[in-house]
Amino acid sequence: MKNLLSQPFHLVTLSPWPILTSMNLMFFMVSMTKMFNFSEKTPLFLSIFSIVLCSYQWWRDTSRESTFQGYHSTFVMEGMKLGMILFIISEVFFFLSFFWSYFHMMLAPSIEIGQSWPPSGMKSLIMNPYNLPLLNTIILISSGMFLSMAHYSIIVKNYEKANILMYLTILLGIIFTLIQNYEYSNAMFSIFTSSYGTTFFMMTGFHGIHVLIGTIFILVSYLRLKFYHFSNIHHIGFEASAWYWHFVDVVWLLLFLFVYWIPF
């Protein structure tokens, strides 16, 4: 217990997975750049496999520390909550940079794009926000509602209901991703079509990646709940996934308002 209380980090045991995952993410970026420029996909697939492998073992070790070794005391959980909050804040500033660029072009359009927003000639190409974007908004907000209900069900020890609600959340997250893929496939413009096309696909694309990561995060929490890793007073892993998912919901609402609705 003495060593546990003196541990200055939220990691209660030494772990190689954070640094290995960071290195694999760097390799993922390099391999993606190589794919775009030289059409070589093998390094990309290898880096994705390495990221999945490291993530699996990282989650495995965290589950062991929490469930079987009992290392996740109140002190440790407070550190993990603080770490998750700081991570979400960093994600807020990540998306803030994209919104900053978007608002710069929307509020003061330059003469090169016709001094209008969307740029000259883009008005007829942008997507109708009342079709697929509105459907995806309803799906994502509904998934956040189901996840909040699942959290309450865990607190009141109704684990069977929580399992069903988390399953629905995962299903809606997958449906959102599939609809976004369909939307991209049928878009009348590309990432190279003026500044609007670039910002549109960068912002919605990165959000889509976050939805995919959040879906995996909730899937891991769902599996842990089925194996009785969580209790009504000890479910920090689930809480972290729920915070992340609600952050993704808020970002999508802003994207729907400023990127889809206002330009239309």
Q: Check: CATH 1.10.540.10 for 73-261?
A: no
Name the pLDDT band for 11 (thresholds 50, 70, 90): low
Averaged pLDDT, 180-186? 94
Q: What is the dihedral of CA 77, 81, 87, 92, to 10 degrees?
A: 170
Query: Among 170, 217, 173, which residue's Cα sits nearest to residue 55?
Result: 217
**Cis preceding-peptide flag for 18 (omega within 30 of 0):** no
pLDDT score of 245 more than 60: yes
Highest mean pLDDT among 12-26, 64-78, 113-127, 161-175: 161-175
Q: Check: CATH 3.40.50.20 for 1-72?
A: no
| In the chain, where the domains are located | 1-72, 73-261
- Residue 10: the pLDDT is 54
- Segment 114-138, tens digit of pLDDT: 888 888 888 888 999 999 999 999 9
pLDDT score of 4 more than 50: no
* Encoded tokens for 211: 């939805």
Q: What sign does the CA torsion over 104, 108, 112, 114 have?
A: positive
70-84, 136-150, 217-231: which range is least confident on average? 70-84
DSSP state of 227: T
Number of residues assigned to the chain: 264
Q: Is 201 left (phi over 0), alpha (psi -120 to 50) or beta?
A: alpha
Name the pLDDT band for 30 (thresholds 50, 70, 90): very high
For 30, 100, 113, 235, 252, the CA distances from 242, given in Å and listed in that order, are 31, 27, 40, 11, 15
Q: Collapse the DSSP code of 9 into the 3-class scheme (helix H, G, I; strand E, B; otherwise coil) and give the result.
A: coil
Which CB contacts under 8 angstroms, 24+ apart, belong to 111-119? 113/194, 113/195, 117/196, 117/263, 118/194, 118/196, 118/263, 119/194, 119/195, 119/196
Name the pLDDT band for 7 (thresholds 50, 70, 90): low
- Rounded to 5°, angle at Cα 135 from 129 and 137: 80
- Same CATH topology for 1-72 and 73-261: the answer is no
Name the pLDDT band for 9 (thresholds 50, 70, 90): low
